[in-house]
Structure 1
Amino acid sequence: MTPISLGLVGLGTIARNQHLPALAATPALSLAAIASRNARLDDIAAFYDVAALLASDVRVDAVSLCTPPQGRFAQAQAALRAGKHVMLEKPPGASVSEVQALAQLARDRGVTLFATWHSREAAAVEQARTLLANATIQRVDIAWKEDVRHWHPGQEWIWEAGGLGVFDPAINALSILTRILPDPVHPTGAILEVPANKQAPIAAQMSMVTGAGAPVEAVFDWRQTGPQTWDIRVQSDLGEVVLQEGGARLVVAGVAQINASDAEYKRLYARFVDLIARGQSDVDLAPLQLVADAFLLGERRVVEAFVE
């Protein structure tokens, strides 16, 4: 079978650390071109932007976008209009409505659009989903705390409007939450702590509730140094079900069930290949909608300026 020829747009940290190794491990995909303003790869056709890539003679069947969410709509729109299958790094866009528009365009053009949530591919997420499918959820607590200076050094876009701030990592927790719970959730309130010199929050608290009335409390913080915290604790009639280390580790009623290494992006690209083969799209906007709701409902509190 001829591999799917793919163009990778954006060659920053996430592309180099995750996308390139995952592509190399996916025989059904062949990296044919790079579009990046500042970076190149040896022996791979390189272009300044996606427009130049699409206008070239290099054949690409699909495009994977690893650029910041601001401005990504135009890139995805151009690729879809050119008849290319498109994979979106998370968050899939700067707004819910723009991704909805892309989904409609993909349907109209008969191509695949895949809005990815890499944390859903963590090793323990699907088993947690299966365990909780018929459980009675009593309460959920999320603690997602990390050091922005370590994970996003010098990335100013993430502090700008549309960059999400602390919700860039927090949306990973929300993507897991909306995958494992058998009942939808909606926010009832939020507090957004915004540095005096930035547009996006450095910390946030969200109060949510499931359709059955169980409370969900989340604390997100970008100021944690030392060991990082990525935990979701679900109290249920099965006992406590805990996802740790971003979904890589599962503990049920105090007993460890899964503790596995990272293969999230390999699974994402395998899913992309499968969606293309089936002529389907996968655009679940539930995590992004929760973030949008937090900004709608959130009380904004100005905190001390952030200095890199």
Structure 2
Amino acid sequence: MSVTKIAIMGVGKIARDQHIPAIAARDDFELAATVSGSGGVDGIENHDTLADLLDARPDISAIAMTMPPMPRFDAARRAIAAGRHVMLEKPPGATTSEVRQLIDMARAAGVTLHGTWHSRHADAVASVRQWLATRTITGGHILWKENVREWHPGQQWIWQPGGMGVFDTGINALSILTEILPVDLRVRTSVLSFPANRDAPIAADLVFAGPDGVTITADMDWRYADTARWEQTIKTEDGTVKLLEGGARWTLDGVKQKAEGPGEYPGVYARFAELLSRGESDVDDRPLRHVADAFLLAKHISVDPFHDDA
């Protein structure tokens, strides 16, 4: 079995909690280095900059980029130009134009580009997609609510332009929605709530339109003080499917169904390994396009200022 030496760029919570354990669990990847200006991982070679890594380690053929989306384009562009395969944490870029350019660059360079959507690998998602494939969709609703102070403490970048605010997690719901539905949707209306002291929304109310009058609504809110709710309900002519816990389990007409999946980040790396073996890329920008459309169509509402320590 060939082993791909991979580096992680951006050693934050998501890298430590998800990427590093997922890599360690596989025989076909070796975490060979990190890129972090604030310290790397114990026992793993660290470089302060991507340029240092690219110069020092030509044997590292793949880089997982787990830093915030704003600096990701320049880093991915440099890595692709150096002939390295690139994995992008969600979202794949700060703008849709950046993503399209990276796709073209990777194709021209002959390297693999994988824009990951980890929630698509949650245990129940594949089963729901299969069940819905032959059904007629009649409507649905997304409920995506959590406490931002619990799940994103002190992360100031999420409130800056390009940080996406509530869509940083809400886009996970959209990644699942675009994966499981057999029809395409478009954003019809959008209401975004912006804290008076922030540049990104803390809540979003969306209406999606599909074929034959199908409507799916979405309620996303970072001010939810109770236990997080990550749920999607899809109604069909044959019954109602509900995805719970971010796609970890599902019900059909209220009855619990069997859910068997690889787990989110094990699934991400299994897919990356598959793409590398085939010399292919996989970058689906539909969830990001939905977010961009939500901003384009948005009615802006100013709400109370947000403070991390409130």
Once the two structures are TM-superposed, the CA of residue 260 in structure 1 deviates from its matched residue by 6.2
Once the two structures are TM-superposed, the CA of residue 26 in structure 1 deviates from its matched residue by 1.3
Once the two structures are TM-superposed, the CA of residue 51 in structure 1 deviates from its matched residue by 1.7
**CA offsets, 1:197-220, max 9 Å, x none?**
110000010011113320010000
Name the residue aligned to 1:87.
87
The residue identity in structure 1 corresponding to 2:103 is A
Once the two structures are TM-superposed, the CA of residue 261 in structure 1 deviates from its matched residue by 8.3
1:306 and 2:306 matched: yes
Kept in 2, the 8 Å contact 1:248–1:262? The answer is no
**CA offsets, 1:212-268, max 9 Å, x none?**
320010000001112110000011112110000000011001110035688210110
1:194 and 2:187 matched: no
Q: Give the count of matched residue pairs.
A: 308
Kept in 2, the 8 Å contact 1:33–1:58? The answer is no
Once the two structures are TM-superposed, the CA of residue 142 in structure 1 deviates from its matched residue by 0.5
| SS at structure 2 position matched to 1:17 | helix
Deviating beyond 4 angstroms after TM superposition, the runs of 4 or more aligned structure 1 residues are: 259-262
| SS at structure 1 position matched to 2:128 | helix
The residue identity in structure 2 corresponding to 1:3 is V
Kept in 1, the 8 Å contact 2:192–2:299? The answer is yes
Name the residue aligned to 1:117.
117
Name the residue aligned to 1:184.
184
Name the residue aligned to 2:252.
252
* TM-score, normalisation: structure 1: 0.98
Name the residue aligned to 2:235.
235
Question: Residues 30-45 of structure 1: matches in 2 within 5 Å?
Answer: 30-45=30-45
Name the residue aligned to 1:99.
99
Structure 1 pair 17–262 and aligned structure 2 pair: CA distance change class (3 A) = farther
The residue identity in structure 2 corresponding to 1:145 is K
Structure 1 pair 223–260 and aligned structure 2 pair: CA distance change class (3 A) = farther
Kept in 2, the 8 Å contact 1:47–1:53? The answer is yes
**CA offsets, 1:95-145, max 9 Å, x none?**
001010000000000000000000000011111111111111111100000
Once the two structures are TM-superposed, the CA of residue 43 in structure 1 deviates from its matched residue by 2.1
* TM-score, normalisation: structure 2: 0.97
Name the residue aligned to 1:211.
211
CA distance in 2, matches of 1:247, 1:41: 30
Name the residue aligned to 1:28.
28
| SS at structure 2 position matched to 1:258 | coil
Question: Residues 260-275 of structure 1: matches in 2 within 5 Å?
Answer: 263-275=263-275
Structure 1 pair 272–53 and aligned structure 2 pair: CA distance change class (3 A) = same
Name the residue aligned to 1:66.
66
